[in-house]
Amino acid sequence: MNRPLIGLIPLYDDEKESLWMLPGYMDGIVSAGGTPLMLPLTEDEDMLGQMTELCDGFLLTGGHDVSPALYGETPIEACGACCPARDAMEKKLLALALERDMPVLGICRGIQFLNAALGGTLYQDLPQQRPSRIEHHQKPPYDIPVHKVTIVEKTPLAELLQVPVLAVNSYHHQAVKELSPQLTAMAYSEDGLVEAVYMKEKPFVWGVQWHPEFSWKTEESSRKILEQFVKAAKK
């Protein structure tokens, strides 16, 4: 058995004061050959260190808006609820993971968090700050593609998928504004938003703005992304 252990950042339900997980993240990692493990929310350095020893890669899941304080802004009214416990844990865990060159995949909030944590900024609310005719906040079912992204040539995503354009699902009201100098764009939406990124100098640190956890059953490209992540975690 050679299933890498993938640590998943839990989602947080404010009303129920409960940690939770979408099955798509878990099942998608299982299907890609990994073993998913939902982590606790903690800032304890010893526990975070232990997680980096135990896990072979980390999945930064979707969820709350990233706190604008992380990129030096105050929240506008249209900014959604934030989850300080996640921001704090992910910041520390990401630093440890990067130190160790561990594979990290950020999905939705995950790509936004990567960008904000690495010195970039976000649109706090797309409809207000960057209105567009492109649907970025679709209604269910979430496994249906609603807009296209152009994949940047010669990026790892282009190498993996071997297609110039991809139709993706889209369920986000925030997005990358100024790209972190440590990240390189791998895909742009039709209205010019950064929808996929990677860290050039790391073996596998990727972020996607769309949702492979909803589409891996129906979209081969989503399966390939999850498989590439799990494969990177095997080394």
Give the footprint of Mn ion on this chain (CB under 5 A): 136, 170
Of 60 and 168, nearer to Mn ion (C-beta) is 168
Cross-strand partners of 197: 185, 207
Give the angle subtended at the CA of 110 by the CAs of 74 and 215, to the nearest 5°: 135
| CA distance linking residue 70 with residue 90, whole number of Å | 12
Of 57 and 207, nearer to Mn ion (C-beta) is 207
* DSSP-derived secondary structure for 30-79: HHTT-EEEEPPP---HHHHHHHHHH-SEEEE---SBPPGGGGT-PPPTT-
Q: Select the residue whose beta carbon is closest to Mn ion and give its number.
A: 170
Of 136 and 177, nearer to Mn ion (C-beta) is 136
Of 119, 154, 147, 165, the closest CA to residue 209 belongs to 147
Q: How far is the CB of 130 from Mn ion (least distance, A)?
A: 12
Of 10 and 121, nearer to Mn ion (C-beta) is 121
CA dist list (Å): 52 to 76, 113, 116, 156:
35, 19, 21, 24
Q: How far is the CB of 140 from Mn ion (least distance, A)?
A: 15
203 CA to centre of own chain? 16
Q: How far is the CB of 13 from Mn ion (least distance, A)?
A: 24
Q: How far is the CB of 120 from Mn ion (least distance, A)?
A: 17
Q: Please give the positions annotated as active site.
A: 108, 211, 213
